[in-house]
Copies of this chain bind each other. A is one copy, B any other.
Amino acid sequence: MHVRRPATLASLAAELGVSRTTVSNAYNRPDQLSPELRRRVLETARRLGYPGPDPVARSLRTRKAGAVGLLLTENLSYAFRDPAALGFLEGLALACEGAGQGLHLVPVNPEREDVAAVHRAGVDGFVVYSVPDDDPHLAAVLSRPVPTVVCDQPRVEGVDRVGIDDRAAMGQLAERLINLGHRKIGVVCMRLSRDRNDGFASLERQQGAHFHVQRARLAGLADAFGAVGVDWSEVPVVERFDHSTANGASAAAQLLDAEPDLTAVICTSDILALGALAEAKRRGLRVPQDLTVTGFDGITEAERAGLTTIRQPVLEKGRAAGKLLLGAVEHARPRQIILATELVVGATSAPPRTAEERWFGP
């Protein structure tokens, strides 16, 4: 028994005594050949076990892969657990689905700096979501001659971008707390750079942060509190590498241990804030009477908890990125879409207690 080589367009054509073009047309342009011949072609295909035109060969010829690459860099458990990332993913997937494009998740080994996967991905474009500015994968993506959209990233010369105004949004939240009377605040933020630092983040580290979003949110706080005379360099900022409520709790604990007289803990994400709430509860601190806690993102769980936060349209962000990439948006290039955010005042913020109240109760 001989090893049957898999059938190809050419072998089918040979078998039928027609040209390759005709067989190709049978699949791609039914109007270009007689129904009778087409029927014969398809039947012979079935008989020979020809599975239809090879997608890769077609892609090579047509210069279209039919898929969008998504670069996440982050640990995947992060992407699939973090509600904000998930919302983005869903929005992007919806946009792709609507355009009949696949979504190709680029495998990134967070340990090794192996950029090969980026070069190996047969895609028509890339979406890069929230990777550090100095990520070599980002550089690899930019080196490829396909359109790219970055999201929750700083501007890159000549590259389309989707995002929110993190700095202004956080500034708005800060202003709210300032108007309530808060001056002694502590901050919990997500990882600032690729190297792990679970603990206080120096001013230098904050400003040199490689994660644009975190840097911008901290800057927004510095803007607002600086404007009312709070020396930002005195404001304790605790950083956590892994994004989880448990880490939010431990960071809040670290903050409160170091400075027990804080009146507010501002977190750069809702997940962290939910952890901070848990920690406050554990310590018997009433929220908001004894401690104000705020978040960022506006995820469902936060809403349920009544968290004061900034709501951002995560799904819309994903969808916008997809539309931008797939050309559904007409505009001069490079294009930029900055989506609106909204301050959600929940039940976790209130004026700080006066010193008197502190000692003698409300």
Contacts and interface: CB of A to CB of B under 8 A. Distances in A.
Q: How many identical chains are in the complex?
A: 2
Interface stretch (A115-123, A159-167, A253-261): A115-123
A96 interface: yes
Given A56-B56, A58-B120, A121-B55, A93 B65 contact: no
A51 B49 CA distance: 37
Contact of A90 (B6, B77, B120): B77
Interface size class of A (residues with CB under 8 A): 35 or more
Nearest to A80: B90
A119 B202 CA distance: 53
Given A51-B145, A117-B66, A143-B51, A56 B108 contact: no
Contacts of A109: 97, 100
A108 B96 CA distance: 10
A102 B93 contact: no
Contacts of A54: 60
Given A56-B60, A94-B77, A145-B51, A122 B122 contact: yes
B101 A97 contact: no
Interface in A94-129: 94, 96-97, 99-109, 114, 116-117, 119-123
Nearest to A6: B145
B117 A102 contact: yes
A52 interface: yes
Given A96-B107, A102-B121, 8 more contacts: A6-B145, A55-B121, A65-B122, A66-B120, A69-B102, A76-B94, A96-B105, A122-B122
Interface of A: 6, 49, 51-60, 65-67, 69, 76-77, 79-81, 86, 89-90, 93-94, 96-97, 99-109, 114, 116-117, 119-123, 143-145
